[in-house]
Amino acid sequence: MDLTSTLERVAERARRHLTEGHVAGYIPALARVDPSRFGIAVVSVDGQVWTAGDARMPFSIQSISKVFTLTLALGKVGQSLWERIGREPSGSAFNSIVQLEREGGIPRNPFINAGAIVVTDVLLDGRPPRTTIDEILGFVRRRADDPTVAIDDEVARSESETGHRNYSLAHFLASFGRLRNPVDDALSVYFHQCALSMNCVQLARAGLFLAAGGRDPLTGEQVVAAERARRINALMLTCGHYDASGDVAFRIGLPGKSGVGGGILAVVPKRAAIAVWSPGLNANGNSHAGTIALELLADEMGWSVF
Amino acid sequence: MDLTSTLERVAERARRHLTEGHVAGYIPALARVDPSRFGIAVVSVDGQVWTAGDARMPFSIQSISKVFTLTLALGKVGQSLWERIGREPSGSAFNSIVQLEREGGIPRNPFINAGAIVVTDVLLDGRPPRTTIDEILGFVRRRADDPTVAIDDEVARSESETGHRNYSLAHFLASFGRLRNPVDDALSVYFHQCALSMNCVQLARAGLFLAAGGRDPLTGEQVVAAERARRINALMLTCGHYDASGDVAFRIGLPGKSGVGGGILAVVPKRAAIAVWSPGLNANGNSHAGTIALELLADEMGWSVF
Amino acid sequence: MDLTSTLERVAERARRHLTEGHVAGYIPALARVDPSRFGIAVVSVDGQVWTAGDARMPFSIQSISKVFTLTLALGKVGQSLWERIGREPSGSAFNSIVQLEREGGIPRNPFINAGAIVVTDVLLDGRPPRTTIDEILGFVRRRADDPTVAIDDEVARSESETGHRNYSLAHFLASFGRLRNPVDDALSVYFHQCALSMNCVQLARAGLFLAAGGRDPLTGEQVVAAERARRINALMLTCGHYDASGDVAFRIGLPGKSGVGGGILAVVPKRAAIAVWSPGLNANGNSHAGTIALELLADEMGWSVF
Amino acid sequence: MDLTSTLERVAERARRHLTEGHVAGYIPALARVDPSRFGIAVVSVDGQVWTAGDARMPFSIQSISKVFTLTLALGKVGQSLWERIGREPSGSAFNSIVQLEREGGIPRNPFINAGAIVVTDVLLDGRPPRTTIDEILGFVRRRADDPTVAIDDEVARSESETGHRNYSLAHFLASFGRLRNPVDDALSVYFHQCALSMNCVQLARAGLFLAAGGRDPLTGEQVVAAERARRINALMLTCGHYDASGDVAFRIGLPGKSGVGGGILAVVPKRAAIAVWSPGLNANGNSHAGTIALELLADEMGWSVF
């Protein structure tokens, strides 16, 4: 199997849509990113790597980091995590805070912001934010098999300064007694994990264990149990693309998680992990050209879990 | 592959939970069903059939019929169906009518009642309800390869008499101009499709085309295009179990559609279709013992799309 | 006290705003009304009548009828009415059906449509719709001291044909077991009461008992107890103008009830009843020029309950 | 007029209900208050003072302070305040944060917490919190004609430490760009105003200008224009008792504002101001015995604006 020409073709067609997306404006450090960037990387479970475009240019992975912190938290507390977070799609951004209120401060799933903040609170476990941030960074570096993965402190600071909505959510959770660590600690970790800077090759490599039954197929390390990897994939499929999760499942049919930095990590069970990046977003906050590229690639390769 | 002993084992374990569910009480004709019934059938894409328990006893398929009417409607109007119905999970029963209002009468997906009523309206297309009911019945009989599949008129009448919530939804849709046929016609079709009476073997057989790329693997008939079958599966996975769709995707990892009659149709892409029936429901309105059985079977067989 | 010149001045100033409103379009029989009409009448508790403009031209009183049916229902079942209907503002039209669901089918107050339909159900009490319609008509004629008040059957029929939203609400109530009579009977009464045709003089006269401690000051009949009249006034103040009730209380400070026909009935406790009519509505569904006229009149006369 | 025996009678009857209420538990400094306390004071526009019970025992006025900060803010920025805050009842606590989101961060009215925080932001106007707190304290002392009125710093600190819900609201407002001062400044002022400690006599005296056309009838100072006083009364009537505002208007018929400390300030236009205090709250968060006392007093005196 050689995906080189396939990726070039996909990239060429997706790039035609670059101008239709809009770069996220609410985090100043992200708003400055060049909207004409496009990169894609595929890493197969047998270790082959194919790329096209800006696949080696780092970007802010933002919400994609929630996949890694969820994996870490499940490793720490196991199934008991689900006493504090649900596993259902939230229906819509609009409803999330209503649901949070109706449902006693139990976030719908670990990929909406409220849920990810609870995951962060689980990871903190009474320790200083810096220790937890280092733990997350270390985990992602091991998954990417690359010690150069870093956190962009300017982005983290920028998020903190403009993060009123996240402060609101965290205090809302705290008002229900759902956080065990100080709000500021949980948010400090959260803003730093979102500021992880990775390129497409690193990101696809880091997600490879999800395509291989929870085991890193290149190092042999069993990151999580096979059953758990399947379940993380299920959550990515049902909840990984904000309010467009159903539509992405419908059109692409692969588990995936997007971030407002324009990145998407997708998983082809038993075969490969894909990372695509293009900063312009569609109306649902997912990478516009990235989503198109994933759809073209999945279609061409016949990659669908269905 | 011989599933006989597997199914017996699954049935034996699932039956221990029979008393924990509650038979749907709001439709009198359904409330009289014996709660101790349990049946399961698996039909493989190469035509083998395995069963356990009451797999040949007919039950009311209720919302599972939405899979068949969706398939028919897509065949009639193709992608244009999605101008009238969305493809996203609704978040919760609670929200559906709010979302309907906020979103101008466009139901979230074809598996919530409002969406299924719009599908019915598409099928009617100006014709008499009886013609449309006959068309649906004919389609399901062909899919089940069994001309004895019938509609239980008493159940249909019972639903009509107690169906105030569905009347409310249909008039709500009509108030947004979203129905092109009279409310009473759309509901007449809807109540009759829900009253389809099938047994597990018939139901699994009828859903087999979804496991086989849209083609009935036993007759060779291409029911829908392969891509369309995948997309129906995606909708079943993200929206097929009411407010527990995310949780079922997480625990079982197979596309499925449940009905308040206690039936569930599940699809194992490329391998088999499964139908399970047990009338007692859990808090989310899905068959309690049926869900447990599916989880046991999927786990034992390693059947997960993830 | 002579209000003749005051009313002329108010009418002259309010008429300047006639073109800013929009006639309700959703009921065909109402959409044909001449938008340049404006009438106002004041009837004092000592029986004086002052008018300006089209004060003798009949119009469809629509939701203003809810004041009369509420009065009748309280007379029939007394305080027990409040077990079936609340007394709180609904917050917004948007929320009403959500609240209805959250609150088990108990409408927020008797002036939102759902509440008025429950009031109608109370009045029906197992009798034929026609009997109840006649009872309402008879009551309004006595209150107006005018046997020529009539129901416009064309408007009633027009409402029925386009009343999907009200059918939806009524079936929604029925699904919670909140209606004791058939949905069609309750709606038949409801559509007919809304189609009551009155002019400003009749309407102000009919509301006079609310300004006089529940007693018709001209005939001496005690229509309702003084305490009950005060409470109906309180409901008009807090809930009488749809989502603008708070704003109208703020700007005008008088109990009032508006209708989409462009009429408003307002009460000046111990002094007078006012009826104003102008078909053009503002964004909240209240008569645009009518609201302005009421504000000018209340301001000029120092008529505020506060 | 001598209300001495009337108040004794009212107090005696209201005290029978003392054990039915529940002291607010979420602010530790409030939770320690003796639930058997009951005080009432009436100050007439001609300066007479009648009391019963613990009318001279200070309590935390909490949300009643919103009446005073609203008055101050209207004095500073006049009608332009209403560009930042609405004047409608919110329907229910449940809805407020949804409405806030739907309505772009414009709180429904100045008496819900979000609205009061915006009022605080208006008062801050770039100055230090302490300056604004002193301004509020000075205003309330002048209104009470008593320089000993003070802020209970322990209560203010207690509110800050447990005020996650208010932090959440303030950050939510900030995320919409609706606060011009730092969140922490606005909340510092807010927590201090809520911690104002007053007794019934002081509180009734402080509210007297609202009963007298905006003019302090004893000092002659015109605090606000008569029209503005009427409008503040209108807001108190429609929005002053949380989700029970409609019910209180219905049962009592007087403008009023309650606080979770168990106090209520009520206004009898042209006659008197009433303050009642009893720490046990009913299900809506209003003083249980206090509401009963107000209803008895208003009924006995025939005091209703309707």
Can you read off the two tokens belonging to residue B39? Answer: 């049946």
Q: Do residues B189 and B76 share a domain?
A: yes
Interface mutation target, options D90, D165, D172, D181, chain A, most CBs of A under 10 Å: D172
Q: What is the pLDDT of residue B5?
A: 96
For tokens 């208010």, the residue is: D166
- Residue B180 counted as domain residue: yes
Q: What is the pLDDT of residue B102?
A: 77
Spatial CA neighbour of D147 closest among D156, D155, D159, D138: D138
**D246, D255, D306 member nearest C88 (Cβ):** D246
The residues of A whose Cβ lies within 8 A of any Cβ of D are: 94, 97-98, 101-102, 164-165, 167-172, 174-175, 183
Residue D63 catalytic?
A: yes
| Binding positions of C for substrate | 63, 113, 159, 166, 190, 242, 260
Residue contact C92–D86, C-beta within 8 A: no
Residue C66 catalytic?
A: yes
Q: Do residues A32 and A177 share a domain?
A: no
- Say yes or no to pLDDT of B93 above 80: no
Chain D residue with minimal CA distance to C305? D305
Written as one string, the DSSP assignment of chain D is ---HHHHHHHHHHHHTTGGGSEE--SSHHHHTS-TT--EEEEEETTS-EEEEESTTS-EE-GGGHHHHHHHHHHHHHGGGGGGTS--S--S-HHHHHHHHHHTTT--S-TTSHHHHHHHHHHHHTTS-HHHHHHHHHHHHHHHHT-TT-EE-HHHHHHHHHT-HHHHHHHHHHHHTT--SS-HHHHHHHHHHHHTEEE-HHHHHHHTHHHHTTTB-TTT--B-S-HHHHHHHHHHHHHHTTGGGHHHHHHHT-S-EEE-TTSEEEEEETTTEEEEEE-SEE-TTSSBHHHHHHHHHHHHHHT----
- Residue B254 counted as domain residue: yes
Last residue of a domain, one of C156, C173, C194: C194
As a whole number of angstroms, the distance between CA A257 and CA A247 comes to 13
Q: Do residues C51 and C107 share a domain?
A: no
ipTM of the complex: 0.94
Q: Which pTM does this prediction carry?
A: 0.93
- Residue C95 counted as domain residue: yes
The answer to whether the beta carbons of residues B276 and B258 sit under 8 Å apart is: no
* Model confidence pLDDT, tens digit, residues A201-227: 999 999 999 999 999 999 999 999 999
**D164, D169, D175 member nearest A165 (Cβ):** D175
**Total domains, chain A:** 2
Q: Do residues B69 and B59 share a domain?
A: no
Residue C36's CATH number = 3.40.710.10
Lowest mean pLDDT among C100-109, C244-253, D30-39, D245-254: C100-109
Average pLDDT on D55-76 reads 97
Chain D residue with minimal CA distance to A104? D94
Last residue of a domain, one of A173, A194, A215: A194
As a whole number of angstroms, the distance between CA B203 and CA B276 comes to 9
- Residue B306 counted as domain residue: no
Domain span at A18: 4-63+196-301
- Residue D30 counted as domain residue: yes
**Choice among B242, B248, B276, B287 that is catalytic:** B242
- Say yes or no to pLDDT of B95 above 60: no
Residue D66 catalytic?
A: yes
Q: What is the pLDDT of residue C95?
A: 54
Q: Do residues C55 and C203 share a domain?
A: yes
Last residue of a domain, one of A179, A194, A209: A194
- Residue A306 counted as domain residue: no
* Model confidence pLDDT, tens digit, residues A142-197: 999 999 999 999 999 998 888 999 999 999 999 999 999 999 999 999 999 999 99
Which chains are within 8 Å of D by 3+ CB pairs? A, C
* Model confidence pLDDT, tens digit, residues C16-59: 999 999 998 878 888 889 999 999 999 999 999 999 999 999 99
- Say yes or no to pLDDT of D95 above 60: no
Q: What is the pLDDT of residue B52?
A: 98
Q: What is the pLDDT of residue B146?
A: 98
* Model confidence pLDDT, tens digit, residues B8-60: 999 999 999 999 999 988 788 888 899 999 999 999 999 999 999 999 999 99
Q: What is the pLDDT of residue D248?
A: 95
A233 is in an annotated binding site: no
**B92, B250, B255 member nearest A91 (Cβ):** B92
Q: Do residues A79 and A200 share a domain?
A: no
- Residue D70 counted as domain residue: yes
Q: Do residues D46 and D98 share a domain?
A: no
As a whole number of angstroms, the distance between CA C205 and CA C291 comes to 19
Average pLDDT on C99-113 reads 88
**Choice among D23, D119, D190, D258 that is catalytic:** D190
Residue D26 catalytic?
A: no
Residue contact D91–C87, C-beta within 8 A: no
The answer to whether the beta carbons of residues D50 and D42 sit under 8 Å apart is: yes
Between C88 and D57, the more confident residue is: D57
Q: Do residues A145 and A239 share a domain?
A: no
Which string of b and e fits C153-188 if b means at least 16 CB within 10 Å?
Answer: eebbebbbeebbbbbbbbbbbbbeebbebebebbbb
- Residue D305 counted as domain residue: no
Q: What value does the mean pLDDT of chain A take?
A: 95
Q: Do residues A169 and A267 share a domain?
A: no
Residue contact A97–D101, C-beta within 8 A: yes
Q: Using DSSP, state whether A41 is helix, strand or coil.
A: strand
Q: Do residues C286 and C169 share a domain?
A: no
* Model confidence pLDDT, tens digit, residues B115-172: 999 999 999 999 999 999 999 999 999 999 999 999 999 999 998 888 999 999 999 9
Q: Tell me which chain D residues have a C-beta less than 8 angstroms from the C-beta of C87.
A: 246-247, 250
Q: What is the pLDDT of residue D93?
A: 61
- Say yes or no to pLDDT of D160 above 90: no
**Choice among C63, C90, C278, C287 that is catalytic:** C63
Neighbours of D104 (CB within 10 A): 9
Q: Do residues D33 and D56 share a domain?
A: yes
The answer to whether the beta carbons of residues C93 and C63 sit under 8 Å apart is: no
Interface mutation target, options C239, C250, C301, C303, chain D, most CBs of D under 10 Å: C250
Q: Do residues D94 and D179 share a domain?
A: yes
Which region, left, alpha or beta, applies to residue D298 given φ > 0 means left and ψ of -120 to 50 means alpha?
Answer: alpha
**B168, B170, B175 member nearest C175 (Cβ):** B168
